[in-house]
């Protein structure tokens, strides 16, 4: 069960979906607060200091991406953000979400159990280390593990990666598990987030937090 002292901010302009997510977390033992716009999200974060935000990408006024950038500018990597979208569902959309600072990216409709599991893991992460320290662990990957991670970041599925690298899907799965362990992350999406942010920082010369 969740911790009632931990507050989840749910930001979505779809009232039915917002209500669904709130009920999911409250039934799991978390406290919740909500907003329906980007400006409302920023106001709620400043006033109520939630522990994590579930953030829709397409919001009235400020988009979810803009909200995330603002939060990262003010709070750094200390505040976990999970993007959710029913429209921005392509690999490029997910990449954009990670590059602006999202910790995870889910596509609607979402499975309640998976949503809770991903949020729980993010809340358990030591945020003082954050993605920046995990990015330093990329150097521990073997060349083949880095190849697999790069292809994941490009949006390829496990079978497609196997075909491209001329290895078996089971071997790909093994490499993925090793990548997750070395980066100390819990999902492929989070591993991709580390890779994309590191690539962005190498291109721009600025470290992302």
Pairing relation of β-strands 52-56 and 104-107?
unpaired
Q: Can you list the domains of the chain with their CATH numbers?
A: 7-126 (3.40.50.2300), 131-204 (1.10.10.10)
Mark the ranges of the chain whose per-residue pLDDT is less than 70: 1-3, 88-89, 125-136, 197-209
Q: Report pLDDT for 127.
A: 52
pLDDT value for 208: 39
192: closest CA among 151, 139, 161? 151
Position 134 scores a pLDDT of 55
pLDDT at 3: 66
Spatial separation of the C-alpha atoms in residues 110 and 7, rounded to whole Å: 20
Question: pTM for the complete prediction?
Answer: 0.65
Q: Cα 172–88–86 angle (5° rounding)? A: 100
pLDDT for position 87: 80
Q: Say what the pLDDT of residue 205 is.
A: 45
Query: Pairing between strand 7-11 and 52-56?
Result: parallel
Asked if 135 contacts 126 with a C-beta cutoff of 8 angstroms, the reply is no
Do residues 68 and 55 touch, judged by C-beta distance below 8 A? yes
């Amino acid at each position: 069960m969740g911790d009632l002292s931990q507050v989840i901010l749910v930001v979505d302009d779809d009232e039915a979906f917002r209500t669904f997510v709130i009920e999911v977390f409250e039934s799991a033992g978390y406290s919740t607060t909500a907003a329906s716009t980007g400006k409302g999200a920023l106001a709620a974060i400043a006033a109520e200091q939630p522990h994590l935000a579930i953030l829709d990408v397409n919001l009235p006024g400020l988009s979810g991406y803009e909200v995330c950038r603002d939060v990262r500018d003010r709070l750094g990597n200390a505040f976990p953000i999970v993007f959710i979208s029913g429209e921005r569902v392509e690999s490029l959309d997910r990449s954009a979400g990670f590059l602006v600072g999202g910790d995870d990216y889910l596509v609607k409709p979402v499975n309640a159990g998976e949503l809770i599991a991903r949020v729980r893991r993010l809340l358990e992460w030591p945020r003082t280390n954050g993605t920046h320290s995990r990015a330093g662990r990329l150097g521990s990957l073997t060349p083949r593990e880095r190849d697999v991670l790069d292809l994941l970041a490009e949006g390829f599925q496990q079978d497609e990666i196997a075909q491209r690298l001329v290895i078996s899907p089971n071997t790909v799965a093994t490499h993925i598990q090793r990548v997750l362990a070395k980066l100390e992350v819990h999902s492929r999406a989070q591993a991709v987030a580390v890779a994309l942010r590191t690539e962005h920082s190498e291109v721009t010369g600025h470290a992302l937090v």
